Amino acid sequence: MLAATGAKSMEDIYCDVPAEALLAKTIDLPPHQGEMEVERAISAMAAKNLNAAEVPSFLGGGAYRHHVPATVDAMIQRGEFLTAYTPYQPEVSQGTLQYLFEFQTQVALITGMEVANASMYDGATSCAEAVAMAGRVSKRKKAIVSGGLHPHYRDATSTISGLHNMDIDLAAANYAGDEDLISLIDNDTACVVVQNPDFFGHIRDLGPLASACHEAGALLIAVVTEIVSLGAITSPGAMGADIVATEGQSIGNALNYGGPTVGLFAVHNKHLRQMPGRVCGQTTDTEGKRGFVLTLSTREQHIRREKATSNICTNSGLCALAFTVHMTLLGETGFARLAGLNHASAVTLADKLSGVAGVEIINETFFNEFTLRLSGPAAAAVEAMAAKGVLGGIPVSRLYPDNPDMENLLLVTATEVTTGDDMDALVTALNEVL
């Protein structure tokens, strides 16, 4: 092959590289290894972790452990899905395009919105992009961010949408669930960002907030970190949200130490052209058969370059596939059941914990996670419980450091995979460490 190119050596082919930059020998890294050796080495790293599936685990806070049916992984590992690129050539990408169309429909239905895009990186970046989009739609600069928004979402939003010249107005952290955002809205407000259920687990009626936003000409951005909740709670769209920016990990996707996951992004038709990200649309082919294509790409970077609505290119395609396969297995009946099981599990956990000395439940309302106030610092309690093989929740201080008021707060979650024995183990562990 080298001879066919007319070159005598690879050096000839690399002739455009400045000679001083061309490495003469192998870089300082270990030599190649066989499949067995690599698997062994990486398995050894995996074995050093305390895997949340093996012990009673009560962590949520934006990443949730659910049962993912075996079908999901079998489907997403089909090479035709796994090893395809973005469906730029629709004639050989109808598989990807069809599931994206179905995915978009499912997301729109669940969020109560008119349309959804083909996914974002994750919930936090969805939220950041929603704020930037609200700036473009309203032509205003001020974004009011609820103190119940997941701190990572808050920070990603400040970092990313702050670039789009948005002024991010962070409301004080609010773990009590009694935040008043309406009084902060004025005629300069582009949007209000609120999470439901919020980071601390409280559920609120977004209706009054939506009305107040709309009266002032602002958009309501609703964030959901636990998408399963929408099987039980009124959708953000039905409560008046203008943009729904959520995390979809809970459906079809494992925890994966937090990534990759899948951001969901849904809007109403009137704002469609300001939406970031890819969208798939229905059309027909030259024989009149229904088919699907990526569309409205004049919003996107590969066409609009510096005038694009976002710089996003690669999104979360395969995680969106996992989501849509799982959601198809669930259907209307299964999704409602899954939500019901999660809520029942959390209610049962709350009942069990209410009898533990040194534990106070903060929430009046919740879906599958809620906040406890312990008699001592939560971080130490969690560390002590972990030593006993119980992953007892998330110390709120992990995300709100240096806030003495929240030092004793513990966020706990129960899902359909949480057993009665798990709950008893938590009760025992708390009794021992408090």
Partner 1 sequence: MADTHETITGNRGLQLEESLIFEQSSEGRLGVDLAEPPHVENRLGGLEREGPIGLPDLSEPQTVRHYTRISQNNYGIDSGFYPLGSCTMKHNPRLNEKVARLPGFASLHPLQPVSTTQGALELIDACAHWLKVICGMPAVAMSPAAGAQGELCGMMAIRAALEDRGDVRKRVLVPESAHGTNPATAAACGYAVDTIPANERGRVDFDAFVAKLDTDVAGIMLTNPNTCGLFETDIIKIADAIHDAGGFFYCDGANLNAIMGRVRPGDLGVDCMHINLHKTFSTPHGGGGPGAGPVVLSEALADYAPLPFVTHGEDGFDLVEHKTGKAAKAFGRLKGFHGQMGMFIRSLAFMMSHGGDGIRQASADAVLNANYLLAELKDTLSPSFDGPCMHEALFDDSFLKDTDVSTLDFAKAMIDEGFHPMTMYFPLVVHGALLMEPTESESKETLDQYIDALKGLTAKAKAGDAAYFHDAPRLTPRRRLDETSAARNPILRWRPPVDEAEAAE
Total site size for partner 1, rule CB under 8 A: 201
Shortest reach from residue 218's CB to ligand PLP, in Å: 31
Asked whether the beta carbons of 211 and 240 are under 8 A apart, the reply is yes
> Residue 265: which residues within 8 A CB-CB, separation 6 or more?
116, 117, 119, 120, 126, 129, 130, 243, 244, 245, 246, 275, 276, 277
Residue from the set 313, 336, 344, 387 that interacts with ligand PLP by CB under 6 A: 313
- Minimum gap (Å) between residue 274 Cβ and partner 1: 14
User: Looking at beta carbons only, is 33 or 431 nearer to partner 1?
Assistant: 33
220 binds partner 1 (CB under 8 A): no
187 versus 419: smaller Cβ distance to partner 1: 419
Residue 8 lies near partner 1 (rule: CB under 8 A): no
Q: Up-side HSE of residue 365: CA atoms within 13 Å toward CB?
A: 13
Q: Smaller CB distance to ligand PLP: residue 61 or 87?
A: 87
Q: Min. distance of Cβ 150 from partner 1 in angstroms?
A: 7
Structure tokens at 307: 């005038």
Q: Is 306 in the site for ligand PLP (CB under 6 A)?
A: no
CA R_g for the chain = 24
- Distance (Å, rounded) from C-alpha 309 to C-alpha 265? 14
Site string for partner 1, 157-176 (x = CB under 8 A): -xxx-xxxx-----------
Is 303 a binder of ligand PLP (CB under 6 A)?
A: no
Q: Give just the sign of the alpha carbon dihedral 246, 249, 250, 255.
A: negative
Q: Using the rule CB under 8 A, is 405 a contact of partner 1? A: no
Residue 314 within binding range of ligand PLP, rule CB under 6 A: yes
Shortest Cβ 337–partner 1 spacing (Å): 5
- State the minimum distance, in angstroms, from the CB of residue 363 to partner 1: 7
Q: Checking DSSP bridges between strand 167-170 and strand 142-145, what pairing results, if any?
A: parallel
305 lies in the binding site for ligand PLP (CB under 6 A): no
Strands in 409-413's sheet, in edge-to-edge order, are 359-361, 369-374, 409-413, 394-395
Instruction: Determine how β-strand 189-195 pairs with β-strand 219-224.
Output: parallel
| Residues 199-218 contacting partner 1, CB under 8 A | 203-205
Backbone angles phi, psi at 405, to 5 degrees: -65, -25
The residues binding ligand PLP (CB under 6 A) are 313-314
